[in-house]
Amino acid sequence: MTALKNDRFLRALLKQPVDVTPVWMMRQAGRYLPEYRASRARAGGFMDLCMNAEIACEVTLQPLDRYPLDAAILFSDILTIPDAMGLGLYFETGEGPRFRKVVDTAEAIEALPIPDPEKDLGYVMNAVRTIRKELNGRVPLIGFAGSPWTLATYMVEGGSSKDFRKSKALLYDDPKAMHMLLDKLAQSVTSYLNAQILAGAQAVQIFDSWGGSLSSAAYQEFSLAYMQKIVNGLIREHEGRRVPVILFTKGGGLWLESMAATGVEALGLDWTCDLGVARQRVGDKVALQGNMDPTVLYANPAAIEKEVGRILESYGNGPGHIFNLGHGITPEVKPENAGAFINAVHDLSAKYHQD
């Protein structure tokens, strides 16, 4: 395997010294880039893009060719798992993801198969292998999956939701059925992430995008408990290196201590948390990733730099911070503003890493 030329992302995840704070952006390959829109049109559609290893690799590298990012993230989607369980994922133009089949009864949950990652999701592993080869050690590659709770919301609702009406009703009406669904998803996500690691992913992130919609009690029982199961089952060393795990619960600021106790290397924070306070709360346990409000990228470059400076100052001196947005970059952002953001992180952070 080729040696890594830039490993500051992996080093920061392990709280090892770095020269500047590493940075990447959630959803860094995507609709805000004209070259992404062109590749997507050439592929035919979003799922065609995910299933074509060459084009998935091409769009993974597009943001890296524009900006000095410190990590690449596999181009795929969290909804590949429910698709492989037979739900039939599709995208209508201009709309979010939809499923042909909804899973909202105990019987439907019972009938769900647990996908075999190499057999049923082989296209994802092919993309991982292709990207690793093409990266040739430039930066580390992040693999990812959705959390069981976040995936369950899409499966029960049949797509995106604002209020999670059906998924929360099922959780309270029939907690046993919800637990069965979450357990199947935890098993599926564990083997899916392990297959990504064996195929070449050098760190993995679990996206719990909708964990923050739950009450504290329900979060512990229906989201965190299943992420803990996944973490317990993950391969933690590969190619002679630690494979760090990042847990991102959007809206999870109240639960940082229990998230840190799962044994992951890092927590992803949304923009509602104060990074300095979060650092005090988790102590030496985990590194922190985040957490600029993605809408700051609609402002001018000077305002973006100011906000980057404020966040760096709030984390303070020393390693253990990976700069990111507090959620994904949005399609309306001007690509040059993303560039101003990334350059500001590198330019302004050196002084926090001097001893």
x/- map, 33-72, ligand 1CP, by CB under 6 A: -------x-----x--------------------------
Please classify residue 122 by burial: count the beta carbons closer than 10 Å to its beta carbon, then call 0-12 exposed, 13-18 middle and 19+ buried: middle
Neighbours of 309 (CB within 10 A): 15
Q: Which helix (H) or strand (E) holds 150?
A: helix 148-157
Q: Is 31 a catalytic residue?
A: yes
Distance between CA atoms of 203 and 182, rounded to whole angstroms?
A: 23
Closest approach of ligand 1CP to the CB of residue 273, in Å: 16
Q: Is 208 helix (H, G, I), strand (E, B) or coil?
A: strand
Name which position in 53, 69, 79, 224 contacts ligand 1CP (CB under 6 A).
79
The smaller minimum CB distance to ligand 1CP, of residues 36 and 255, is found at 36
**Closest CB 24 distance from ligand 1CP, rounded Å:** 9
Residues 6+ apart with CB under 8 A from 61: 72, 131, 134, 135
Query: Which is the catalytic residue, given 7, 11, 67, 77?
Result: 77
As measured in angstroms, the least distance from the Cβ of 16 to ligand 1CP is 25
Q: Does 328 bind ligand 1CP (CB under 6 A)?
A: yes
Beta bridge partners of 247: 206, 267
* Shortest reach from residue 267's CB to ligand 1CP, in Å: 15
Q: What does the CA dihedral 252, 256, 262, 264 come to, rounded to 10 degrees?
A: 90
Annotation marks residue 241 as catalytic:
no
Q: How far is the CB of 177 from ligand 1CP (least distance, A)?
A: 22
Determine which residue in the list 80, 188, 209, 324 makes contact with ligand 1CP, applying CB under 6 A. Answer: 209
Residues 241-260 contacting ligand 1CP, CB under 6 A: none
- Cα separation, 140 vs 127, in Å, equals 15
Query: Looking up tokens 């700069």, which residue turns up?
Result: 323
Does residue 307 belong to the site contacting ligand 1CP (CB under 6 A)? no
Residue 204 lies near ligand 1CP (rule: CB under 6 A)? no
Give Cα separations from 309 to 9, 43, 88, 190 (angstroms).
19, 39, 44, 37
C-alpha distances out from residue 154 to 114, 148, 183, 239, 261, Å? 17, 10, 16, 35, 27
160 binds ligand 1CP (CB under 6 A): yes
Phi, psi torsion values for 202, nearest 5 degrees: -100, -5
- Contact letters (x/-) for ligand 1CP, 2-31, by CB under 6 A? ------------------------xxxxxx
97 binds ligand 1CP (CB under 6 A): yes
- Name the minimum Å distance from CB 316 to ligand 1CP: 28
Per the residue annotation, which of 31, 138, 242, 281 is the catalytic one? 31
What letters, b where the CB count within 10 A reaches 16 and e where it falls short, cover 24-62? bbbbbbbebbeebeebbeebeeebebbbbbebbbbbbbb
Active site residue 40: yes
Active site includes 42? no
User: Is 123 among the residues that bind ligand 1CP (CB under 6 A)?
Assistant: no
Catalytic residue flag (residue 347): no
Residues that bind ligand 1CP (CB under 6 A): 26-31, 40, 46, 73, 75, 77-79, 96-97, 144, 160, 207, 209, 327-328
Catalytic residues, which ones? Answer: 27, 31, 40, 77, 154
